[in-house]
Amino acid sequence: MMLDFEVTELRVVVVGAGGVGKSSLTIRFLTSSFVDEGYNPTIEDSYRRQLVVDSEAVQLEILDTAGQEEYATMADQWYQFGRGFLLVYSVTDRASFEALSGVYGAITAAKLAHHVPAVVVSNKCDLEQLRTVSSAEGQALARSLGAPFVETSALDDVNVDLAFDELVRRVRRAERGAVRRRKEADDTRADPPQPKPKYELKTRRRSQDDVQDGRCCVIM
């Protein structure tokens, strides 16, 4: 299908501990197919997909990262690459959930920002019988990070597209807000407010007596 509007590019990163299903989510989003736990991801994989979110076209470049500790030295490079982040944990792995606050803190530190666009993704919701992290806990974490919360299942294709679409919305909102703030700052610098005079000049109506006694100079 031909798109008759401009396509913007956007880089996002999928982060989280090993085994939470980052690659399964990414491949499900890209191909509508599921890869099982036998899939052996590399240190990082990069993919591209064009889609339309809220009537605006976007070319997503998705970096699917490894979650193993031995690759932690590469994390800063991943964080600098991304403009938005899927923060993924598994409902069956409490340690992966508890690690996400630290991951988000490392992202903001690497980007020298107080806040970055992100979506908290609670994956493997199909394994309800093995759940160790409640939905309420996931929602509380997302609120603390100022991020939306989405429960997904790569296996059953539950909310996978929604998670990526919401991340696109968050990045757009953040970047448009930054552009607006820069414009307002530029406008303020271009037209600074005029300072009030320290002293006010008070005038008094001249009277005929003033003219006659020489206190006012009148030039005819």
Q: What integer pLDDT is reported at residue 219 of this predicted model?
A: 34
CATH superfamily of 8-182: P-loop containing nucleotide triphosphate hydrolases (3.40.50.300)
Q: Structure pTM?
A: 0.78
Task: Report DSSP state, residue 58.
Answer: E
How do the pLDDT tens digits run along the chain, 220 residues long? 444 456 789 999 999 998 999 999 999 999 999 987 555 555 568 899 999 999 999 999 999 986 554 466 678 888 998 999 999 999 999 999 999 999 999 999 999 999 999 999 999 999 999 999 999 999 999 999 999 999 999 999 999 999 999 999 999 999 988 787 777 777 677 666 666 655 554 545 555 555 445 444 333 3
Pairing relation of β-strands 84-90 and 8-16?
parallel
> Percent of the chain, pLDDT > 70?
75
Is the separation of the CB atoms in 88 and 27 below 8 Å?
no
- How many residues in total does the chain contain? 220
- The per-residue pLDDT for 71 is 60
* Residue 136 CB neighbour total at 10 angstroms: 8
Chain center to CA of 213: 76
CA neighbor of 99 nearest in space, from 218, 160, 16: 16
Return the pLDDT at 184. Answer: 77
Other CB atoms within a 10 A radius of the CB of residue 17 amount to: 20
- Count other C-beta atoms under 10 Å from residue 31's C-beta: 11
Listed by start position, the domains of the chain span 8-182
